[in-house]
Amino acid sequence: MSAHYNQPDPVSMETLRLRGAGVPLSGGGRLFGVTAEALAILALVPLAAAVVGSLGVVGPTGGYVYWWGTARGWESLARTMAVAAPAGAMAVLMAWVLVASAVHLSPRWAVGIVMAACLPLLVPSSLLATAWIVALGREGLITGWLRQVAGDCPVVLYTIPGAAAVTALRYFGIAALVLLHARLRREGEWPASRVAAIPPVSAAWHLELRADARPALAAWLLVTLFSMNDPIIPGMLLVSTYGTQVLIQYSALLNPAGAAALAAPMAAVGAALMAATVLAGRDLWFAPSEPPAPVRRPRGLFGRLLAALAAAVVLALALAVPAAVLVARTESPAAIVRALADARDQAWQTLYVASAGAAIATAAAAMLAHHWVAQNRAGARTAVPLVLLNLTVPPSLLGIGMIALFQGAPTAVRDSAVPLVLGYAVRFLPVATLLLYALWRREPPDALLAARVHGVPAWRAAWTVTWLPRRAAVAGAALLAALFMATDLETSIFLAPAGGSTLGVRLYTLIHTAPDASVAALALGILALTVPAILLLAAVAALGRKEGARGA
């Protein structure tokens, strides 16, 4: 053993030699680095275009002074936060109950349960709002049942708390992800508490509730951010947030600059929330890349049953109830097939724009994530994290910026799907970038160098060391981005070309004009189309884990 320790490690020696020669050991060289930085800046151009455009207000009303020099903008912000902040609180509460229950089962079950909680993120906001109106509106199915049982329905959906609750049900999966991540990181602390014979109440207080405080704060900030940028659910429940006013400025008053003047400070609020999220959860985000191996907590059968019941109740509320009411409102399975047949043009268009958008976003994200990891390891600064702004700002702002950029383009491009595809790519680039960055920062930094030292040909090393371990991550990022794009509504409303409407827009249009049964049938059809993509995503994640385990 000692002889082995005394032998020089060839990879380390080569690393030292190359470092001494000034050769970059990670990343793809100077040109690649410059390209990645330029790409990060390029992704922010639509946002910049909208902000610059907001300075050129047309007419006497609608500019920064109109909104923010008077009470108008502040009232709009207050109304928006009156929905978003309680939505964040409700989401964190639900997520905490879910995660605290799920970890009593097993880490694998916990991950599965939290992934299920994320499913509402993968359907259009309008679909969820429709389902809850069908369930709990004055003539809703649950309302009718409550009237029979209790004489009246205590829930009034068309209020700010109602809008906040439905919004929370869409976004609580994000909170669950954050809380689960925090829990799994400190699972190893439990046996220590048992060994040290800490009383259960103290352990629960210090190791569960207090330890969850910071992750819960981060989760609340994050859900509040997403909720404030979703005008669809509150709008359908007659609660006006700033998104409605942006639409009035843009569509009714033909004043994109005025719309941007309202939206741009909201984007700053969003960015501030994101910054606060990063600060609040810094122990989570900046901790060592490998979490400690989760330790299964010994629990009795009763404890596990109780935990399973609590998790089931939360998931039933978030998933089963909306799905069940849609099924109940749909006339027959044939109606779903008919609804999809009627929407086949929009389905193909959605598939095309989401695929193209996801391919572009993933390609760019791969470049950005690779560069980000390299810069991180080298302790150097990079502009890549700035692309996260595109996820924190209102989608309408990006849509307005994209329209401004394409205003002078040839008509064949302006009136095609290109602005929509690029709009999607810009909007969801942060999702793919974050995912790839999170996965790739765990990779051993000198794997390719090791292959080189051991004489593996470059093409073979590129294939086996670079591509194979990363293919599942890339496929997962592409699928996730495509799912988000396929269920997007706001970007589509702004950028969809003539004859190029998407499924989300069709559903949103029909919600206001078609009978409930037709809307429910189309909603279920969209769900049916989403399921294979979600299963594929799960399969890719499983493949990634398997390959990761093999690599380790």
Residues 218-257 interacting with another protein (rule: CB under 8 A): 235-236, 238, 240, 244-245, 247-248, 250-254
Q: Does residue 181 belong to the site contacting another protein (CB under 8 A)?
A: no
From the centroid of its chain, how far is CA 109? 21
Answer for the pair 396, 247: CB distance below 8 angstroms, yes or no: yes
Q: Does residue 433 belong to the site contacting another protein (CB under 8 A)?
A: no
Q: Does residue 259 belong to the site contacting another protein (CB under 8 A)?
A: no
Token pair 């389905």 is found at 347
Nearest to another protein of 114, 505 (CB atom): 505
Nearest to another protein of 157, 541 (CB atom): 157
Q: Which stretch binds another protein (CB under 8 A): 44-52, 160-168, 221-229, 459-467?
A: 459-467
Answer for the pair 261, 269: CB distance below 8 angstroms, yes or no: no
Nearest to another protein of 392, 518 (CB atom): 518
Answer for the pair 486, 358: CB distance below 8 angstroms, yes or no: no
From the centroid of its chain, how far is CA 160? 24
Residue selected from 2, 6, 7, 411 as contacting another protein according to rule CB under 8 A = 411
d(CA 299, CA 90) in angstroms, rounded, equals 28
**Nearest CA to 257 among 92, 51, 114?**
51
User: Per 3-state DSSP, what percentage of the chain is helix, strand, and coil (rounded to 5)?
Assistant: 80, 0, 20
Q: Does residue 68 belong to the site contacting another protein (CB under 8 A)?
A: no
Minimum separation from the CB atom of position 220 to another protein (A): 27
d(CA 526, CA 347) in angstroms, rounded, equals 9
Residue selected from 222, 347, 474, 486 as contacting another protein according to rule CB under 8 A = 474
Nearest to another protein of 105, 465 (CB atom): 465
d(CA 168, CA 132) in angstroms, rounded, equals 12
Which token pair is 262?
A: 């309202």
Three-state SS for 359? helix
Q: Does residue 547 belong to the site contacting another protein (CB under 8 A)?
A: no
Minimum separation from the CB atom of position 373 to another protein (A): 8
Neighbours of 268 (CB within 10 A): 13
Which token pair is 32?
A: 């690649």
From the centroid of its chain, how far is CA 161? 23
Minimum separation from the CB atom of position 244 to another protein (A): 8
Q: DSSP letter at 186?
A: T
Q: Does residue 376 belong to the site contacting another protein (CB under 8 A)?
A: no
Contacts 24+ apart (CB under 8 A), 187-193: 187/103, 187/107, 187/292, 187/294, 187/295, 187/297, 188/292, 188/293, 188/294, 188/295, 190/295, 190/297, 191/295
Q: Does residue 70 belong to the site contacting another protein (CB under 8 A)?
A: no
**Which of the residues 32 through 51 are near another protein (CB under 8 A)?**
32
Nearest to another protein of 138, 296 (CB atom): 138
Nearest to another protein of 9, 283 (CB atom): 9
What is the contact mask toward another protein in residues 137 to 156, using x (rule: CB under 8 A)?
Answer: xxx-----------------
Q: Does residue 329 belong to the site contacting another protein (CB under 8 A)?
A: no
Longest dimension (CA), the chain: 84
Q: Does residue 465 belong to the site contacting another protein (CB under 8 A)?
A: yes
**Which of the residues 121 through 140 are near another protein (CB under 8 A)?**
137-139
Q: Does residue 284 belong to the site contacting another protein (CB under 8 A)?
A: no
Q: Which stretch binds another protein (CB under 8 A): 24-32, 175-183, 194-202, 543-551?
A: 24-32
Nearest to another protein of 140, 385 (CB atom): 140
Nearest to another protein of 164, 219 (CB atom): 164
Nearest to another protein of 173, 430 (CB atom): 430
Minimum separation from the CB atom of position 441 to another protein (A): 12
d(CA 184, CA 106) in angstroms, rounded, equals 11
**Which of the residues 89 through 118 are near another protein (CB under 8 A)?**
none
Return the sign of the alpha-carbon dihedral for residues 200, 206, 208, 209. Answer: positive
Residue selected from 446, 456, 533, 539 as contacting another protein according to rule CB under 8 A = 446
Q: Which stretch binds another protein (CB under 8 A): 103-111, 333-341, 357-365, 393-401?
A: 357-365
Residue selected from 111, 493, 495, 523 as contacting another protein according to rule CB under 8 A = 493
Residue selected from 155, 198, 306, 462 as contacting another protein according to rule CB under 8 A = 462
Residue selected from 466, 529, 533, 543 as contacting another protein according to rule CB under 8 A = 466
Phi/psi at 482 (5° precision): -65, -40
Minimum separation from the CB atom of position 14 to another protein (A): 10
Q: Which stretch binds another protein (CB under 8 A): 266-274, 323-331, 509-517, 531-539?
A: 509-517
Residue selected from 448, 482, 503, 540 as contacting another protein according to rule CB under 8 A = 448
Return the sign of the alpha-carbon dihedral for residues 508, 510, 511, 516. Answer: negative
Minimum separation from the CB atom of position 258 to another protein (A): 10
Q: Does residue 515 belong to the site contacting another protein (CB under 8 A)?
A: yes
Q: Does residue 540 belong to the site contacting another protein (CB under 8 A)?
A: no
Token pair 């496929």 is found at 475
Residue selected from 40, 182, 263, 505 as contacting another protein according to rule CB under 8 A = 505
**Nearest CA to 508 among 296, 230, 219?**
230
Alpha carbon distances (Å) from 336 to 120, 155, 196, 488, 523: 20, 30, 59, 21, 8
The interaxial angle of helices 30-43 and 344-378, nearest 10 deg, is: 130
Amino acid (1-letter code) at residue 54:
S
Residue selected from 20, 410, 455, 532 as contacting another protein according to rule CB under 8 A = 410
Residue selected from 301, 512, 549, 552 as contacting another protein according to rule CB under 8 A = 512
Neighbours of 65 (CB within 10 A): 12
